[in-house]
Chains A and B, each alone.
Chain A
Amino acid sequence: MVRLITHNLLACHAKGCTSNNFPLQLKDVQLEQREAEFNPDFLRRFMPKLDWGALVDTARQLGDDSLPLEQPEMFDDDFLRKLHHVLLEVSVEEGAMVCPNCSHIYPISNGIPNMLLAENEIG
């Protein structure tokens, strides 16, 4: 699967594409909801490493506006459950990710993103 936690880490790495290459834009996606174990400790400690803006934008593009634009300073259980859902339970099974800078397309099939480049595309 490409859950949004993974999407938040992936960037375009085509030759010469070094700025504005994140986040990749999801396109023509088929989503699946997969229940995952709720782990508030993990989420609390992991949260500072997220690119919050990218996560919220991407979730909203997928029709989920449960997360606030600004990362809250206090995390209550309700918020952590929403974050858990967006980050770990929404999974892209099919579709593509497109680089906002160079438009390189990374296809997603069977929940596996294809991040391979041809030899001449590697930076």
Chain B
Amino acid sequence: MAPKVTATTISLDAQTHEDTHVHAVYDQIASHFSSTRYKPWPIIDTFISSLPTGSIGLDSGTGNGKYLPLPLDPVKSVMTIGMDRSRNLLLIAQNAGGKERSREVVWGDVLGGCWRRGAFDYAISIATIHHLATPERRRAAVERLLESVTPHGGRVLIYVWAIEQDVLSKRSIPGEEEAQVQETAGRDVFVPWVLSKPTAKGSPQLDGEAESPQVFNRYYHMFEAGELRGLVVQAAERMGLSVGEEVAGGEKEGVEIVQDGWERSNYFVELRRWKRVNGI
């Protein structure tokens, strides 16, 4: 039986909460987690495949690095550098794609900005920002992603976990007043990870010695419809970027929301930065 997702609240300060319920958990479950995460999602391969040869990118929250070897069909050559908060996952990510220690990985935090500004052509952050415990921290993570890519056409793809559709449908569509209340957007939950104790292959379990599996509660913020887009708009505002397509004679610098959607229980958003040269 699949373990239950339970509602939770953030009782500790946000950093401590994430340290306890995200970073420490992934470090402990790294190897088991990685063995279940080997198939890249098609939209992400499509995104990486659309980049021109010579592109360099950041995978912020790379986990076991399963997106680092993309594109699957290597007609184009790009390079993605992986960053994660869990060092044990990075030790696995170094070997992503099967070739030993062929990947570049950095131990870092999605809220840090350890890169030359605008150094990357693209940045992806897949199933990561939903592990941050406050709206401000999630928005800051979006800002760091936008800062990491070049203002001249830098592209960003973000995926986060969504509140399930059937749950959503029970809600009435919020009116304008209701939608203003940011604090109540989305839902904070624990998603258990059940780590069975490794047993030697084929060895029969001794009666009464079967250890009960260890359960780790991972913290997630489940996003609701429109919430990810809202974070992007707030992040852009703080960075002085207009939101929308590049218009001749219009704003000087901005970010375009290329696509924004829901797929298999996740919300995603694809962004493109633009900057007009000489104000034309």
Whether A116 contacts B108 in the complex (CB less than 8 A), given A45-B54, A51-B116, comes out as yes
Type the 1/0 row for A42-63, where 1 means its CB is closer than 8 Å to any CB of B.
1111110101000000000000
Residues of A within 8 A of B77 (CB): 39, 41-42
B54 and A123 form a contact (CB under 8 A)? no
Tell me if B143 is interfacial: C-beta within 8 Å of chain A.
Answer: no
B104 and A34 form a contact (CB under 8 A)? no
Residues of A within 8 A of B81 (CB): 6, 9
A111 and B54 form a contact (CB under 8 A)? no
Query: Contact residue range for chain A?
Result: 35 or more
Tell me if B101 is interfacial: C-beta within 8 Å of chain A.
Answer: yes
A10 and B94 form a contact (CB under 8 A)? no
* A95–chain B nearest beta-carbon distance, Å: 14
Tell me if B8 is interfacial: C-beta within 8 Å of chain A.
Answer: no
8 Å CB contact of B54 from A3, A34, A44, A122: A44
* B155–chain A nearest beta-carbon distance, Å: 14
Type the 1/0 row for B99-111, where 1 means its CB is closer than 8 Å to any CB of A.
0011011111101
B52 and A112 form a contact (CB under 8 A)? no
Smallest CB-CB separation from A39: which chain B residue?
A: B77
A36 and B120 form a contact (CB under 8 A)? no
Residues of B within 8 A of A116 (CB): 85, 107-109, 112
Residues of B within 8 A of A42 (CB): 53-54, 77-79
A11 and B112 form a contact (CB under 8 A)? no
* A4–chain B nearest beta-carbon distance, Å: 10
Tell me if B44 is interfacial: C-beta within 8 Å of chain A.
Answer: no
A112 and B90 form a contact (CB under 8 A)? yes
* B85–chain A nearest beta-carbon distance, Å: 8
B107 and A46 form a contact (CB under 8 A)? no
B107 and A113 form a contact (CB under 8 A)? yes
8 Å CB contact of B104 from A2, A13, A123: A2
B53 and A122 form a contact (CB under 8 A)? no
Tell me if A26 is interfacial: C-beta within 8 Å of chain B.
Answer: no
Whether A112 contacts B119 in the complex (CB less than 8 A), given A13-B113, A13-B114, A42-B77, comes out as no
B53 and A9 form a contact (CB under 8 A)? no
8 Å CB contact of A6 from B52, B104, B113, B117: B104
Rounded to whole angstroms, the CA-CA distance of A118 and B107 in the bound complex is 13
B-contacting residues, A76-123, CB 8 Å: 110-117, 119, 122-123
Smallest CB-CB separation from B83: which chain A residue?
A: A115
* B68–chain A nearest beta-carbon distance, Å: 12
B116 and A11 form a contact (CB under 8 A)? yes
Residues of B within 8 A of A114 (CB): 107
Rounded to whole angstroms, the CA-CA distance of A5 and B55 in the bound complex is 12
Q: A6-B104, A34-B102, A113-B107 are in contact. List 18 more A-B contacts (CB 8 A).
A: A9-B115, A10-B115, A10-B116, A11-B114, A42-B53, A42-B54, A45-B53, A49-B119, A51-B116, A112-B91, A112-B105, A113-B106, A115-B109, A116-B107, A116-B108, A116-B112, A117-B112, A119-B15
5 contacts between A and B (CB under 8 A): A1-B94, A46-B54, A46-B55, A49-B121, A115-B107
Residues in B lying within 8 Å of A, measured CB to CB: 15, 52-56, 77-79, 81, 83, 85, 87, 90-91, 94, 101-102, 104-109, 111-117, 119-121
7 closest A-B pairs by CB: A45-B54, A115-B108, A115-B114, A42-B77, A46-B54, A13-B113, A6-B104
